[in-house]
Amino acid sequence: MDGSFPLPIFGGETPLYDQLYRHIAGAIQSGALPTGARLPSKRRLCALAGVSMSTVEAAYSLLAAEGYVLAKPRSGYVCAHLLPAGPGLSGPAPAPAPGPPPEPPRWACDCSTSAVDTSVFPFSSWARITKEAVYENPGLLQRGHPQGDQPLRAALAQLLAQYRGVRCAPEQVVVGAGADHLLSLLLQLLPEHRAVALEDPGYPAAYAAAALHGREAVPIPVDGEGMDPDALAASEAGLAYVTPSHQFPLGVTMPAGRRSRLLHWAASAPGRLLIEDDYDSEFRWSSRPIPAMQGLDRAGRVVYMGTFSRSIAPAIRAAYMILPPALLERYRSTFSHGACAVSRFEQESLRRFIAQGLYGRHLRRAGNLYRRKCAQFTQALSAIPGASISGAEAGLHFLLTLPRLTEGELVERAAARSVRVHPLSRYCHAAPPRPSTVVLGFAGLSEEELAQAAELLKEAWG
Amino acid sequence: MDGSFPLPIFGGETPLYDQLYRHIAGAIQSGALPTGARLPSKRRLCALAGVSMSTVEAAYSLLAAEGYVLAKPRSGYVCAHLLPAGPGLSGPAPAPAPGPPPEPPRWACDCSTSAVDTSVFPFSSWARITKEAVYENPGLLQRGHPQGDQPLRAALAQLLAQYRGVRCAPEQVVVGAGADHLLSLLLQLLPEHRAVALEDPGYPAAYAAAALHGREAVPIPVDGEGMDPDALAASEAGLAYVTPSHQFPLGVTMPAGRRSRLLHWAASAPGRLLIEDDYDSEFRWSSRPIPAMQGLDRAGRVVYMGTFSRSIAPAIRAAYMILPPALLERYRSTFSHGACAVSRFEQESLRRFIAQGLYGRHLRRAGNLYRRKCAQFTQALSAIPGASISGAEAGLHFLLTLPRLTEGELVERAAARSVRVHPLSRYCHAAPPRPSTVVLGFAGLSEEELAQAAELLKEAWG
């Protein structure tokens, strides 16, 4: 069959063996070289194609390795049997992927609740620390502890005891790639909880996590003290997710009495658990940060969660949770095969950032800046006739209510002036607890931008 | 009640307001200060406790913020009602967390399949790159694209086209924190697939992922060409996870005919999907790396996955998957709220590592080293009478079969000489396809350690 053997026209920069290999593989796939057909001997192909023996050998060994041809003793290479192309297999290449989703509109001022101010980020310290973390720790290249490396867990346990009144041993700490990731691990760990009680209004990602893990999301109303314990007790859920320090999005701080009632609920039936998401507790304006509910828990029924996404920056994909002792053993047997999802270099950078006192200093600087911004923005907006502000005692967002306008009017009039604000109903499952209310984040806007935003909103709503 | 008001004995380094606050909160919690009891006026407490007005104000505002006391007009502060401690709430603090799990035995040689050789890691380049990535990209502090940043996705698409024959647009790439994390996202994305076909023997983490997401793991036998397509077709699964380049753990490379049959299976019913895990395809000793199955897929039925855990190091928690166009839109609507789990600084470091040609250079250096190690170790072990080696054409592990001994004897005799080898049955769900067989990883051991391991194993099994 030498005469009819399909030979490539060599050209371009691809190595010759590769061109030869592709050409023959293509001929076998298309059926031009049928099953059982003998390929020319290597020596013969060298002559036919005008290439070196090493080129032919490389192409043939690749064809054999991929199963296009079979090496038969004394017969050389014969074409293997390939299944004829099935439905779709012979069609054109898959359609080009849909393009990126449409660009979000560009806002003059985006009052997002998840942005932070990067002007206080200590770039040079962080750059130095990340470099040192790589240089000084070659051992970090290997697989680390599935819960995160011990030195970082010890630093976190100490930090949380000092700043948040959390009581735990480093063994109870689990490091993960963001709060959503930890919530996902937690739901995987707790398959017996088919229903999850969530704050209403509440954090959309918690609702999404429940849905993604096939759990029933049970919205529980939030009043002026946080999640309603009677509604919780009346529900079938045995697992409840709460944000006691600064309820998202209402901004309510849960008082001690309500905390006791929730702890009481958790302790009064086997297997009940509270997830305490302390997502922006580092920032509190009216008093020093309020200790976490976890520190009051004597029954081991609180899983505490926190993140560096707001206290440092969203780019730092590291969060942590503190498991009660009873869950810890289950965690270890369930996830023993896994690796911690955070790069060990980044873990070591965070540990150094904390240990060298840079994290504390950053929190003070960022806290001062955010306190100033919060005061500036709320003060400017208070000048709008009829406007009232709530939830501004802590955190990086607050609510504004203006009964003269509907929620939709508030959002649309702001948008018409290129200011993005979120309607409270976006976070609600039953009726919003407060009509005519929007959620305003301020951390991501500079002081100049906040002044501009306030002016635009006064025009829009004045 | 001034005379009976409980006053702290100040001391230590804690701020006075904090000592005062903790003392009063404790008295309210214990009932020493009952519900409704009035606290002394601020001025009175200054005198009683001998502290400044600002100390008292700080303590009272904290007690009020936490809900321990209520500010009543004209009455000053009164103690709030706290629910009596519930079951467990009054008990002792939770038991100290169980200590760290028992230290694994220390092996003279651990033939782990997941370790890598860190001696070729370009520490100084990586340290420089990470530092530059931080310094030169302040914008990276904010939230990035949920699929990973576009420049890294573009670099990956190009890299995979060049090295692996993968055909995709950057829009199809999803970056995640390790292959296990991506597998978890994928299962969340595909709730309709209640059963997942997995290779038997196969990757334990894939079985674990199926269980954690409440799916039925359907073991499909692996023969000398990979997953058995007849057994797959006979199963009820519509989603199959395969490792065509270097089957884990058998080391089989799936020939083209078998690939066609699997693609045919996937294309011949709506909704069927193949997950191609290309976990260590960068390293191939007998020919150049074999192109990925994804590149042959014309029906859009392959999700391709790869990782840097083996090609760079387990510490780098970055992996990627390529979604077929039809899944991409579903991915976007399902995970639109989430952030990419990999630090944006690390994403930028990886992009630079690839773009500056350092990744390609690293792969060549590491590949040469591993090729040498593989040859050295297999050659030394071949000297054991009766031993046969398979699956050593690629990747960082191979199988050794020695019919004279049982699998248990192989593992125990090696352990008695402090060499850790894994029994093949560890990865099996039905009967192991080959008795008397162990799995040997070599990448994590130095050439000296491999020589030592080979000597010890010759003694153990000779």
- What confidence tier does A88 reach under pLDDT thresholds 50, 70, 90? very low
Block residue for tokens 């023993």: A336
Chain-chain contact of B171 with A99 (C-beta, under 8 angstroms)? yes
- CA-based nearest residue to A444, from A368, A373, A381, A352: A373
B413 touches chain A (CB under 8 A): no
Chain A hits for B96, CB-CB cut-off 8 Å, are 169, 325
**Cβ–Cβ below 8 Å for A98 and B334:** no
Average pLDDT over residues B33-45: 86
Structure confidence at residue B287 (pLDDT): 65
pLDDT at position A104: 57
Task: Walk across the sheet containing A397-401 and list its strands.
Answer: A388-390, A397-401, A437-441, A422-423
Tell whether A285 is within 8 A of chain B (Cβ).
no
**Cα B271 to the center of its chain, rounded Å:** 27
Q: Output the pLDDT for position A98.
A: 52
Point out the least confidently predicted range of A37-41, A297-301, B4-8, B258-262.
Answer: B4-8
- The two tokens of residue B84 are 């009596």
Nearest residue in chain A measured CA to CA from B313? A141
CA B262 to chain centre: 28
- How large is the average pLDDT for residues A366-395? 94
* Contact between A90 and B393 using a beta-carbon 8 Å cutoff: no
Mean pLDDT of the region A186-205: 96
For chain A, give the mean pLDDT. 88
DSSP B273-307: EEEEE-TTTT-BSSSSPPPPGGGG-SSS-EEEEEE
Written as one string, the DSSP assignment of A39-73 is PPPHHHHHHHHT--HHHHHHHHHHHHHTTSEEEET
Confidence (pLDDT) at A338: 78
pLDDT score of B358: 92
Interval A261-320: pLDDT, tens:
999 999 999 999 999 999 988 888 876 667 899 999 999 999 999 999 888 888 888 999
Q: What tens digit of pLDDT does each residue of B54-111 get?
A: 888 888 887 877 677 888 777 788 887 765 433 333 334 444 455 555 555 688 999 9
Quick check: A428 pLDDT over 60? yes
In Å, the largest CA–CA distance within chain A is: 96
- Report yes or no: A103 at the B interface, CB cutoff 8 Å: no
Cβ atoms of A313 and A339 closer than 8 Å: no
Banded model confidence at residue A48, pLDDT cuts 50, 70, 90? confident
For the ranges A23-37, A315-329, B383-397, B408-422, the lowest mean pLDDT is seen at A23-37
- Looking at chain A, the domain(s) classified CATH 1.10.10.10 span 2-79
**What is the pLDDT at residue A140?**
84
* Among A310, A329, A343, A350, the residue to mutate for chain B (most B Cβ within 10 A): A343
* Chain A residues touching B88 at Cβ < 8 A: 267, 298-301
CA-nearest residue of chain B to A148? B315
Does A261 contact chain B (CB < 8 Å)?
yes
Residue A238 pLDDT greater than 80, yes or no: yes
Of A72-76, A269-273, B216-220, B321-325, least confident by mean pLDDT is: A72-76
The Cα–Cα gap between B5 and B89 comes to 26
Smallest CA–CA distance, residue A432 to chain B, in Å, is 21
**A chain contacts of residue B82, beta-carbon cutoff 8 Å:** 256-257, 260
Q: What is the pLDDT of residue A110?
A: 93
Residue of chain B whose Cα is closest to the Cα of A88: B299
**Distance of CA B176 to CAs B214, B320, B350, B426, Å?**
21, 6, 13, 27
- Report whether B100 contacts A171 (CB < 8 A): yes
- With CB atoms and an 8 Å threshold, state whether B188 touches A191: no
| Domain A2-79 = CATH 3.30.465.10 | no
Q: What value does the mean pLDDT take over residues B399-405?
A: 97
Predicted local distance difference test score (pLDDT) of residue B286: 73
Inter-chain touch A58–B288, beta carbons under 8 Å: yes
Residue of A104, A122, A39 whose CA lies nearest to A312: A122
- pLDDT at site B316: 83
- Give me the CATH topology for the region A122-360: Aspartate Aminotransferase; domain 2 (3.40.640)
How far apart (Å, rounded) are the C-alpha atoms in residues B267 and B297?
A: 9
Specify whether the backbone of B50 is left (phi greater than 0), alpha (psi in -120 to 50) or beta.
left
pLDDT of B8 over the 90 cut: no
The whole-number average pLDDT for the span B338-353 is 92
- CA nearest A172: which of B95, B94, B101, B97? B97
Answer yes or no: do A100 and B171 touch at CB < 8 A. Answer: yes
Which residues on B lie below 8 Å from A331 (Cβ)? Answer: none
- Token pair in block for residue B191: 């709730």
- Burial label, B144 (beta-carbon count in 10 A; 0-12, 13-18, 19+): buried
Q: What is the mean pLDDT of residues B325-341?
A: 89
* Whether residue B351 has pLDDT greater than 70: yes
Interface of B with A in 64-83 (CB under 8 A): 65-68, 80-83
Separation in Å, CA B213 to CA A146, A156, B218, B219, B273: 19, 29, 14, 16, 17
Mean pLDDT computed over B171-186: 95
Token look-up 């009043």 returns A223
Q: Which pLDDT score is estimated for B249?
A: 95
Asked if A225's CB is within 8 angstroms of B268's CB, the reply is: no
List, in sequence order, the alpha helices (H) in B190-324: 204-212, 229-234, 256-267, 308-311
Q: What pLDDT does residue A32 have? A: 81
pLDDT tier for residue A82 given thresholds of 50, 70 and 90: low
Percent of chain A residues topping a pLDDT of 70: 92
Q: Write out the two tokens for A359.
A: 């994290």
Residue B127 to residue A126, Cβ atoms within 8 A: no
- pTM (2 d.p.): 0.80
Domain ranges in chain A with CATH number 3.90.1150.10:
109-114+365-461
Which range has the top average pLDDT, A26-40, B157-171, B184-198?
B184-198
* Contacting A residues, span 20-39, partner chain B, CB-CB under 8 Å: 25, 28-29
Assess whether pLDDT exceeds 90 at residue B123. Answer: no
Rounded average pLDDT over B17-44:
83
* Chain A residues in contact with B124 (beta carbon < 8 A): 135
Q: Do A325 and B98 touch (CB under 8 A)?
A: yes
ipTM of the complex: 0.77
Note the pLDDT of residue A106.
82
A339·B264 Cβ contact <8 A? no
Helix (H/G/I), strand (E/B), else coil: A174: strand
Residues of chain B with CATH 3.40.640.10: 122-360
Residue to test with chain B: of A143, A173, A245, most B Cβ within 10 A:
A143
B137 CA to chain A: closest CA distance, Å?
10
Which of B61, B83, B315 has its CB closest to that of A257?
B83
Least Cα separation, residue B44 to chain A (angstroms)? 22
pLDDT more than 70, % of chain B: 92
Residues B181-187, mean pLDDT to the nearest whole number: 95
Residues in CB range of A444: below 8 A, 6 or more apart = A110, A112, A114, A115, A116, A117, B142
CB-side neighbour CA atoms (13 Å) of B147 = 25
pLDDT at B399 over 90: yes
Instruction: List the Cα angle B138/B139/B142 in 5-degree steps.
Output: 115
Judge whether residue B347 has pLDDT over 90.
yes
Question: In this model, does residue A246 exceed pLDDT 80?
Answer: yes
Partner-chain contact A287 B65, CB within 8 Å: yes
Nearest to B63 by CA among B28, B37, B23, B25: B25
Q: Give the C-alpha separation, B100 to A153, whole Å.
A: 12
Quote the percentage of chain A above a pLDDT of 90.
59
Q: A–B: how many Cβ contacts below 8 A? A: 341
Is the previous residue joined to B433 through a cis bond, with omega within 30 degrees of 0? no
* A109-114+365-461 CATH: 3.90.1150.10
3-state secondary structure (DSSP) of residue B321: strand
A93: closest chain B residue by CA: B298
- A258 Cβ partners below 8 Å, 6+ apart? A225, A226, A227, A229, A244, B67
3-state helix, strand and coil shares in percent for chain B, rounded to the nearest 5: 45, 15, 40
CA B446 remoteness from chain centre: 25
* Nearest-angstrom CA–CA distance, A105 and A118: 22
- Is some CB atom of chain B closer than 8 A to the CB atom of A264? yes
Chain A residues with beta carbon closer than 8 angstroms to that of B253: 65-66
All residues of chain A having their beta carbon less than 8 Å from the beta carbon of residue B259 are 67
Residue B276: Cβ within 10 Å count: 29
